[in-house]
Every structure is written in C-alpha cells, then in structure tokens.
Amino acid sequence: MLDRRQTLRIGALGGAALLLPGGARGAVARAADTPPFSLPLVVPPVKRPVRRTATTDYYEMTMREATAQILPGVQTPVMTYDGCFPGPTIRARPGRRVVVRQRNALGTEAVVHLHGAYVPADSDGHPKDPIAPGAFRDYVYPNLQPAATLWYHDHTHHMEAEMVFRGLAGCYLLDEPRWTGPPAGRYDLPLMLRDAQFDDQGGLVFTMGDARKRTVLLVNGRRQPYHPVAARKYRLRLINGANTRYFTLGLSDGRPMWLIASDGGLLPAPVRATGVTLSPGERVDAVVDFADLAPGSQLTLRNTDPNIGQPSDLMRFDVVRRAYDPSRVPPRLGGSRPDLGPATVHRDIVLGVNPTTGMSEINGRSFDMDRVDQQIKLGQTEEWRVVNSDVNPPIRHNLHVHGTHFQVIDRNGVPVSGHEAGWKDTVAIPNGGDVRIRVRYERYTGLYLYHCHLLDHSSMGMMAQSEVTP
Ligand code: C2O
Ligand code: CU
Ligand code: CU
C-alpha cells in the first residue's frame, strides 16, 4: 500500500518564492502576464571533475535547495543538484569511467539514477539504496556503451515524481570521439523540456496525477526562453524531462530536422523529419540548419501534440549572425541497427490503473521493492509484449527499462520507424494497444527496474523489477 505520501517541505525557504529586487506584491501575476520569450535560454554549466586519473573522472555534487528564475523577476524555490535548475551537465566519453559523489544536503532522502546507462546494480539508483540527509554515496558509471544523450534524475521510493518536478534532473552526455560530423561545442545544445504549475507566490505546485494544470512550458528550467543563434547547423539534444506531458516537436516554419540519435545513441543513418514525438524520458538528437535565414529571423520550437489543442511554443531561436559551418550530417552515422535475434523467453507486461483501488499497476501488482517480479538470464534475448490496458478512460503510458537498451519490433503490429527503429530505453505504449520489444542484459547482474516513465504513475506503483542472474 502507498501510505507514505508525505508532502515535501522546502525547509529553509519556507516554500514561499522570493521576489527579486524591485519586485512586490503582484510581481508573480505580472510575471505570468509578461510575453513569452522574455528570458534567455540557460545552458546548464558543464561540471568539472575534482580529480582525474588515467581511467576515471571524479565528480562531486551536492543536492540542495536553491531558488531559480523560472518566471521573469521571480525566484522560485527548487530542489537542485549543485544549486542549478536543471542540474549541471556531465560530459563523459565511452570507455572512460566516471564516479560521482552525491552529497545529500536536502532535508529528505534522495536517490540518483542515470537514465539510459549500463551500470552495476548498486550504482543504478534503486529506491532501496537511499542517501540519508547529510550522507553521501559514490555512483560508479563505467560508460561501457556507445555515445548517447543520457540524463540523471531522482528515483526516491514513491517520491520521484515530486522530486523530479521540483528540479532534481540534469543532463549526462556521453560524447562521440572527435570527428568531423554533427555540430559540436556551443552548437550542440541540450534542451530539457518539461511543464510546471505555480502558485500566486511563484512556488511550484505539485499535485500527484493532476497534470492538466501544468500548463507552463519550460526549456532548461525557464519559461519559454529565447536563444540567439548563428545561421548554421545546430545539434539539439531534445530530452523529455516532463512528468507526464508528451511533446510532438517541430519548428514553426515547418523546416525539416535530421534525427541522428535515439535514446541509445547514434542511428545507422540520419532520418529526415518535420516532427518527432517524445513521451516522458525519451530523447532524440536532431540537427537543424538555420543557414538560409537572414539575421533578424525568428522561429520557434513548438509542441503540436494532438492532445493539447493549439500548438504551443517552447522556445524561440533568434538568428543574429552568419557563421562558417564545417559541420555536416554524414549519410552513415556509425550507429548500429538493433538486432537482438530471436527470443528464447516471451513475456506479457500489462500496464494499467486498477479501477477499484486506483493504484497504478504492472501485471495487476503495484511496486514492492522487496518482490522480484521476473528473473532474466544474462545474455539471453527476451521478447516482451507490452500492453496499455487503460482504454476507458484512456490514460497514456510508456515503458522504460533500466540498465540496457532494447529493440522495438512493432506497435500494434506495425514495424516502428524513425528514431524508434534505433536503440531505445523508453517507448510509448498506445491505449488498448501493444508494443513488442526485445530486451537483453549483457554485462551486470542484480536488480533493475522497469516502469512507466510518466513519473506520477511510477510513483503510484506502476513499476516492477527484474533480477538479472548469471
Ligand atoms: Cu528515468 Cu527509472 O527512470
Ligand atoms: Cu532509467
Ligand atoms: Cu503510465
């Protein structure tokens, strides 16, 4: 039973937002009324290691409360890694180990999970391994996997929805080796997308399951920012960091993007698209080219998800200068095509809300961290038929699997295409329909979670665990 839905208290700050100098009563209302695109985009700072050895980069981070200017002129209390909202970016390389010491200076337990990473089970951020207030934990990330856009976020038992909503999320980019290819450096932009709801004082309002009121759209922790760009190609690392919102992303003038990477890293070849849909937790890397635009031009990144009615703008790109552009999108990107071969084990995974109890469940059971839901043999391919049974009323769900990437075979019998044909760790499951995936664990044994990544659902029990055995 879910009985510990405590309310998180933002202690030191008393929960109330602080107004910036010049602010007064009504500042929040004025902020809400300011036109979109009045704040610049923040690119989260890249974290520096405290120490490097021949094999390993060591980092130290502190989880603590802070304030962030999400709305113009208002400081909102948030939960952060290192005071940043979202957290600082870690840039790592395949084959080079990273160790992150996470100190917990929050007034509450916390756990850090690196989403999309292959890590030993005791570094996966399982909710059974919380960091107590005042304590720390060293997470070891071997990075023995292809380059990819990963992200880290909280995974505290029953609390991940609220703690991620309040700010505990950041980017972890496993970079390709230097090569002449997609835009790099300042032309490689991580964009963490999400939504939020505020009270009259500018504080974040979290109500479990009440996603319809989260109508303010944030990119990298700011409401509808603008970003000055050069007339050249950019790599946008699009990360759906929202608790429950889906994004169908495209540019306002309908220009195409080249999708070059999925959750698991580079695709075999770029895919041209004018729109791409991401459910919570999914990532896609898209290259967009502004070269044909004169300085002074503006366009927006917009969400046209059919569930929202009107398209809504997430951020604006302002073309401010011309630029030399040596980057390119090569016809072969070097990513592998998922092919796990035939499966030896078949399973049904049913996601649904129990109509009598209201609990979110997988195969009729809500999460119990002391129960192993299934055992998987290391090195064996399994095929899972994942079903979303919530037809009436329709409720969206997806499936995220920890500790590996999977191959998506088909959705409602139709083979998937675009970025979904690449390696994935999160996939949308249609109402009343099914998705077949093939899953294999290659390296580590132990407990790995799988769950709906609409975090309000996982926090309410739509989560289970596999024990990977030798
Ligand atoms: Cu990004 Cu278990 O989640
Ligand atoms: Cu994960
Ligand atoms: Cu769900």
Please list every protein residue whose CB sits less than 6 Å from any atom of ligand 1. Answer: 113, 115, 153, 155, 281, 400, 402, 449, 451, 453
Nearest atom in ligand 1 to 125's CA: 2
Ligand 1 centroid to residue 456 C-alpha, Å: 12
Return the number of other C-beta atoms located less than 10 Å from residue 61's C-beta.
22
Ligand nearest, relative to CA of residue 460: 3
Can you give the pLDDT of all 470 residues of the chain as single tens digits? 333 445 565 544 444 455 544 444 566 777 777 899 999 999 999 999 999 999 999 999 999 999 999 999 999 999 999 999 999 999 999 999 999 999 999 999 999 999 999 999 999 999 999 999 999 999 999 999 999 999 999 999 999 999 999 999 999 999 998 766 999 999 999 999 999 999 988 999 999 988 889 999 999 999 999 999 999 999 999 999 999 999 999 999 999 999 999 999 999 999 999 999 999 999 999 999 999 999 999 999 999 998 777 789 999 999 999 999 999 999 999 999 999 999 999 999 999 999 888 889 999 999 999 999 999 999 999 999 999 999 999 999 999 999 999 999 999 999 999 999 999 999 999 999 999 999 999 999 999 999 999 999 999 999 999 999 99
Which pTM was predicted?
0.95
Residue nearest atom 1 of ligand 1, based on CA coordinates: 115
Q: Are strands 298-303 and 312-322 parallel, antiparallel or unpaired?
A: antiparallel
Please report the domains of the chain, with CATH numbers, ordered by start residue.
Answer: 2-174 (2.60.40.420), 185-322 (2.60.40.420), 345-469 (2.60.40.420)
Ligand 2 centroid to residue 226 C-alpha, Å: 30
Ligand 2 centroid to residue 154 C-alpha, Å: 10
- Rounded distance, CA 23 to CA 21, Å? 5
Nearest atom in ligand 1 to 151's CA: 1
Ligand nearest, relative to CA of residue 449: 1
Query: Which tokens go with 72?
Result: 């113009």
Residue nearest atom 3 of ligand 1, based on CA coordinates: 115
In the 8-state DSSP scheme, what is residue 221? T
Ligand 1 centroid to residue 452 C-alpha, Å: 9
Query: Which tokens go with 418?
Result: 């675009």
- Verify cis geometry, omega within 30 degrees of 0, for the bond prior to 326: no
Ligand nearest, relative to CA of residue 399: 3
